[in-house]
Amino acid sequence: MNRREFVKTSVTGLSTAGVLRAAEAPARPVVISSANGLKATNKAMKMIRRGEDTLDAVVAGVNLVEEDPNDQSVGYGGLPNEHGVVQLDASVMHGPTHGAGSVAALEGIKTPSRVAKLVMERTDHVLIVGEGAREFALAMGFQNEDLLTDEAREIWLKWKSQLNPNDDWINPKDRVSGSGLGGENVNLERILKYHGTINCNAVNAKGDISGVTTTSGLSFKIPGRVGDSPIIGAGLYVDNDVGACGSTGRGEANLKTCASFMVVEYMRQGLSPEEAGLRVLKRISENTVEPYLRDETGRPNFNVLFYVINKKGEFAGVSMYSGRQYAVHDGEVNQLCDAAYLYEAKDALE
Ligand code: ASP
């Protein structure tokens, strides 16, 4: 087959697949989310059943988690950056209108997913960052609030106290049981960096699809660091003819592979949600060549998860490593399910 024939076949194949899929509708609506999203999937499903728009539904679902001070990976109560400031990232995509909006490094606003949705609805832009995003949110009537809870601040202070044995920051616990200032780091209470995010995607009975991803990002990050969550194609992608994918886990890996976009494109070529997700996890694993990001067997020493649905209402949660779950409301039951995985986990990974 020469190049021209190949291109012709591929293009025909793709458009045929698109037409076929447009005619397929799910037996029931489906809402999928990361494991911290069981109340989000429940809320979104209720709204979808009432006939509300899929994007309104998933955003209202994740708002419950953004506003929850006990989820330290998202919105209010999220763990802060290196300087103790909470900076949030979020994106939305609305399948029926091929709309997209996102915000990054947003400070002072509890519900960045709602701001991202307004970027889509009220501007000609897709992504607004930093102080501009905060000013936009204030113009839209959002309240500026302190997002750092006492619990998150305590965790940040503990992290800060373990950074440098030659500085003067002490974790009170280490003062009595560990090394306190300087010296040997015996029994030091270790605070690791955390990943965490919520992604939520939905398909309704008509086959319309939307998605949202929202996060406080990597804890103790360098101020201004932006992860995959607000980047269309990395932490979220929706195509109303095909399906949706969103992600949690190491954002840098998704940014370098346009991961969510690739999952949706593999589904366009005919792969199931699980096959498409695993295929992209394999690509991420193969592309992880930096020694400091690989374990002793050469595999990535981090996790990435995808939450995938297609237009027919088929779905999968997939994870680089075993032992992880995802939330799904399949139109009948709202529950946590075990994610499919690429590798058996030896140790607990984020
Ligand atoms: N993907 C997010 C980020 O890198 C964090 C996470 O989901 O764990 O900002």
Mutate to test the pocket of ligand 1, among 194, 218, 221, 293 (most ligand atoms within 8 A of CB): 218
Within-domain flag for 18? no
| 39 within domain boundaries | yes
- 300 neighbors 320 (Cβ within 8 angstroms): yes
Q: Is 305 in the pocket of ligand 1 (CB under 6 A)?
A: no
pLDDT of residue 183: 45
- Distance (Å, whole) CA 57 – CA 59: 6
Closest to 58 in 3D by CA, of 50, 66, 49, 47: 47
Residue 179: is its pLDDT beyond 90? no
| Residue 303 within any structural domain of the chain | yes
86, two tokens: 């909470």
Say how far apart CA 328 and CA 27 lie, in whole Å: 15
Residue 305 has pLDDT above 80, yes or no: yes
- To the nearest 10°, report the CA torsion of 162, 158, 129, 214: 120
Tell which wins on pLDDT, 159 or 40.
40
The CA distances from residue 226 to 42, 89, 107, 218, 229, in Å, are: 29, 7, 13, 9, 8
Identify whether 163 is part of a domain: no
Handedness of CA 16, 22, 24, 29 (dihedral sign): positive
Q: Is the CB of 218 under 6 A from ligand 1?
A: yes
In the predicted model, what is the mean pLDDT of the chain? 89
What is the CA(199)–ligand 1 centre distance, in A?
A: 10
73 contacts 195 by C-beta, under 8 angstroms: yes
Give the tens place of pLDDT for each residue, 106-118: 999 999 999 999 9
What's the pLDDT band for 172 if we cut at 50, 70, 90?
A: confident
Between CA 227 and CA 217 the distance in angstroms is: 6
For residue 148, which of 228, 199, 223, 88 has the smallest C-alpha distance?
Answer: 88
Closest-CA residue, ligand 1 atom 4, reads: 251
CB 213 near ligand 1, within 6 Å = no
Say which CATH number the domain at 246 has: 3.60.20.30
CA 240–ligand 1 middle distance (angstroms): 25
Kindly tell me if the per-residue pLDDT of 231 is higher than 50. yes
Residue 196 beta carbon below 6 angstroms from any ligand 1 atom? yes
Other beta carbons less than 10 A from residue 237's beta carbon: 28
Question: Which range, of 5-14, 36-45, 110-119, 235-244, averages the lowest pLDDT?
Answer: 5-14
In a domain, 176, yes or no: no
Q: How far apart are the first and last CA of the chain?
A: 46
> Between residues 19 and 112, which one has the greater pLDDT?
112
Q: Mean per-residue pLDDT for 200-222?
A: 96
Contacts of 273 (CB under 8 A, 6+ apart): 243, 245, 263, 267, 308, 309, 310, 314, 315, 316, 318
Mean pLDDT of 72-91: 91
State the Cα–Cα distance between residues 151 and 91, nearest whole angstrom. 26
Highest-confidence range of 4-13, 136-145, 176-185, by mean pLDDT? Answer: 136-145
What residues have CB less than 8 Å from 259, skipping those under 6 apart? 228, 234, 245, 247, 253, 280, 284, 304, 306
Of 65-74, 170-179, 194-203, 262-271, the range with the lowest mean pLDDT is: 170-179
Percent of the chain with pLDDT over 90: 76
When comparing pLDDT for 15 and 332, which is higher? 332
pLDDT category, 9, cuts 50, 70, 90? very low
Q: How far apart are the CA of 89 and the centre of ligand 1, in A? A: 9
Pocket mutation for ligand 1, best pick of 199, 213, 229, 303 (most atoms within 8 Å of C-beta): 229
Confidence of residue 307 (pLDDT cuts 50, 70, 90): very high
**Domain interval for residue 227:** 26-148+194-343
195 lines ligand 1 (CB under 6 A): yes
pLDDT of residue 14: 38
How far does the centroid of ligand 1 lie from the alpha carbon of residue 226, in Å? 9
**pLDDT at residue 72 tops 70:** yes
Q: For ligand 1, atom 7, name the residue with the nearest CA.
A: 248
Q: What's the average model confidence in pLDDT over 286-307?
A: 96
Query: How many A from CA of 247 to the centre of ligand 1?
Result: 8
Return the ∠ at Cα 247 (arms to 245 and 249), rounded to 5°. 165
Say if residue 19's pLDDT is above 60. Answer: no
> How confident is the model at residue 35, as a pLDDT?
96
pLDDT over 80 (residue 288):
yes
For residue 104, report the distance from its CA to the centre of ligand 1, in Å: 12
Instruction: Give the whole-number percent of the chain exceeding pLDDT 70.
Output: 87
Query: Which of 107-121, 270-284, 334-348 bottoms out in mean pLDDT, i.e. has the lowest?
Result: 334-348
Pocket test for ligand 1, best of 36, 87, 195, 255 (most atoms within 8 A of CB): 195
Give the pLDDT confidence score for residue 20 in this predicted structure. Answer: 39
CA distance 248 to 43: 20
| Residue 73 binned pLDDT confidence (cut-offs 50, 70, 90) | confident
Query: How many structural domains are present in the chain?
Result: 1
Residue pair 340/46 in contact (Cβ under 8 Å)? The answer is: no
Task: Tell me the catalytic residues.
Answer: 197
User: How far apart are the C-alpha atoms of 223 and 70, rounded to whole Å?
Assistant: 23
Q: What is the DSSP string of 256-290?
A: HHTHHHHHHHHHHTT--HHHHHHHHHHHHHHH---
- The lowest-confidence range among 1-15, 24-38, 159-173 is 1-15
Q: Is residue 17 part of a domain?
A: no
Place of tokens 């501007």: 123
What residue owns the CA closest to ligand 1's atom 1?
Answer: 251
Cβ(78) – ligand 1 distance below 6 Å: no
pLDDT at 189 (0 to 100):
63
Q: Identify the pLDDT of residue 188.
A: 55
SS3 for 22?
A: helix
CA 88, chain centre distance (Å): 12
Question: Is any ligand 1 atom within 6 A of the Cβ of residue 330?
Answer: no
H-type alpha helices, the chain: 3-23, 38-49, 54-66, 112-122, 130-139, 150-161, 172-177, 251-257, 259-268, 273-287
Tell me the pLDDT tens digit for each residue of 188-207. Answer: 566 776 767 999 999 999 99
Quote the CA–CA distance of 17 and 241 in Å, as a whole number.
9
